[in-house]
Amino acid sequence: MILNEYARISPVGDSAIRIEFGKDIDLTTYHRIQIFIKLFHDAKINFHKEMIPSFASVTIEFDAITIMRKIAEQHTIIDINPYDWVRQQIEPLLTQEVNELVLEKTIIDLPVCYGGEYGPDLQYVADYHHMTVEEVIKKHGEAEYLVYMLGFAPGFPFLGGLNPEIATPRKQAPRLKIEAGSVGIAGSQTGVYPIETPGGWQIIGRTPIDLFRPEHKEPTLLKGGVWLRFKAISVEEFNTIKGGLANVDHMR
């Protein structure tokens, strides 16, 4: 595989560069991104401030002033801008012949209490698809979901793998308050709210597990590249877990 066959490079403002590897949310594009990240780190390139992977691209932030100094050290006449210089560092990585990565599959089971006060939109989702709530719960829980990235709120996982049979549009009017742990559906995606926040996803359940724990060394339970499964639990089990667990390290 040669990544250059799929990569599209473009500037993001005056201090970042984006490399797109596809247009779709799928495992093929995800693997291309992971290969590029490995190549980048293996090359020990250190001009960047931050690397931000997403569904289909990687954005690399850099310090334009620092790079201008590097350019000045290398050129008698400064005839190149920071973006072009960064692009020149990246392009050789994209032309290397590389093999597919074998990625370790780590699966986390997340307990979810569906419906009732914890899933006020479950009935709506069922009615929208002319299903029973039991069918929606089954279809939502039988899949394995890849965490493509975290975003929107600290520890919020953007997941791929939702059964298209239960894909449901966002609410027309977002709620001003969604409880932490709420599990929702928005279009072809499902996700979990790690903190209390406004939001427009259709809420079908809630987990008693804290996804964002700022007091921990690793504050987010999930990270990009792990897989998630939802396990249906009762209200009684929800209350037992919520009241009895000080941490969830055993879930890793």
Q: pLDDT tens, position by position, for the chain (252 residues)?
A: 889 889 999 999 989 999 999 988 888 899 999 999 999 999 888 788 899 998 899 999 999 888 888 888 876 666 788 899 999 999 999 998 888 777 788 999 999 999 999 999 999 999 999 999 999 999 999 999 999 989 889 999 999 899 999 999 999 999 999 999 999 999 999 999 999 999 999 999 999 999 999 998 889 999 888 999 999 999 999 999 988 754 444 444
* 3-state SS, one letter per residue, for 48-104: EEEEEECCCEEEEEECHHHHHHHHHHHCCCCCCCHHHHHHHHHHHHHCCECCCCCCC
pLDDT of residue 32: 92
Q: Is 176 exposed, middle or buried (0-12, 13-18, 19+ CB in 10 A)?
A: exposed
Handedness of CA 132, 138, 141, 145 (dihedral sign): negative
**3-94: which CATH architecture?**
2-Layer Sandwich (3.30)
pLDDT at 247: 42
CATH 1.10.3720.10, domain 107-251, yes or no: no
Computed over its alpha carbons, how large is the radius of gyration of the chain? 21
User: Given this model, what pLDDT does residue 80 score?
Assistant: 82
Domain ranges of the chain: 3-94, 107-251
Which tokens hold the place of 83? 């973006």
Task: Please state, in angstroms and rounded to a whole number, the distance separating the CA atoms of residues 148 and 188.
Answer: 14
Q: Say if residues 85 and 73 touch (Cβ distance below 8 Å).
A: no
Contacts of 78 (CB under 8 A, 6+ apart): 68, 71, 72
Q: How far apart are CA 151 and CA 202, in angstroms?
A: 18
pLDDT of residue 135: 98
d(CA 173, CA 138): 27
Residue 245 has what pLDDT? 54
